[in-house]
Structure 1
């Protein structure tokens, strides 16, 4: 899975770090789309949940870092989105939800915002 820290990203150019984030979001979307096709009790779903939760955990941690250069308001909004994504992934894992569609759509919007 893609794992990076804010300090590593800070050393890269803004374009490089956005590209890494886009790639990680693309991968999560790809896994969730496969899981959506395979069904709720598939190995694809397990992999998609793990990858999505891991990615968003990393992103939320980086957004919470006071050294993050994004505005406090934007960081707070993105943290809220990340927490929602992780709750939705847990709902799928627990059988309380069956579809990744909402998470896919929100993650795609965030990815498009990086362009």
Structure 2
């Protein structure tokens, strides 16, 4: 199965790429919000946070790719946000009582920026 990189999708159809990204962030946020609202722990919490980690792993890899056409300053900022998200996700997984609010807030801002 061939997986298109972010830059390939944007090159062919910028709006399609952004729609896919928004959908991925929407899914991540739905999972996080559900876990937070219902006070879920264990597998549900791990799955929600894991989805966010997987999303950012993909995004960071694409942002670091030399063929990524986004401006370097924007790429650097997004990688920085992604690195913070990964650190915070790790903390959330290590501390079951830790709120997901910061992850939700930052990822909501990124998702909203794609509109």
TM score, norm. by length of structure 1: 0.88
What CA deviation, in whole Å up to 9, does each residue of 1:49-98 have, x standing for no partner?
11000000100010011111110000000000001011101001111761
User: More displaced, 37-46 or 47-56?
Assistant: 37-46
Give unmatched runs, 5+ long, in structure 2.
none
**Separation in 2, partners of 1:36, 1:51:** 15
Give unmatched runs, 5+ long, in structure 1.
none
- Whether the 8 Å CA contact 2:60–2:82 is kept in 1: the answer is yes
- Whether the 8 Å CA contact 1:92–1:98 is kept in 2: the answer is yes
Partner in structure 1 of residue 45 of structure 2 = 45
**Separation in 2, partners of 1:45, 1:4:** 29
- Whether the 8 Å CA contact 2:88–2:103 is kept in 1: the answer is yes
The CA deviation at 1:41 is 2.4
Query: 1:71 aligned to 2:33?
Result: no
Partner in structure 2 of residue 25 of structure 1 = 25
The CA RMSD over aligned residues, in Å, is 1.8
The CA deviation at 1:4 is 5.2
- Whether the 8 Å CA contact 1:91–1:97 is kept in 2: the answer is no
- Whether the 8 Å CA contact 1:46–1:93 is kept in 2: the answer is yes
Runs of 4+ aligned residues of structure 1 deviating over 3 Å after TM superposition are: none
- Whether the 8 Å CA contact 1:25–1:111 is kept in 2: the answer is yes
TM score, norm. by length of structure 2: 0.88
Partner in structure 2 of residue 109 of structure 1 = 109
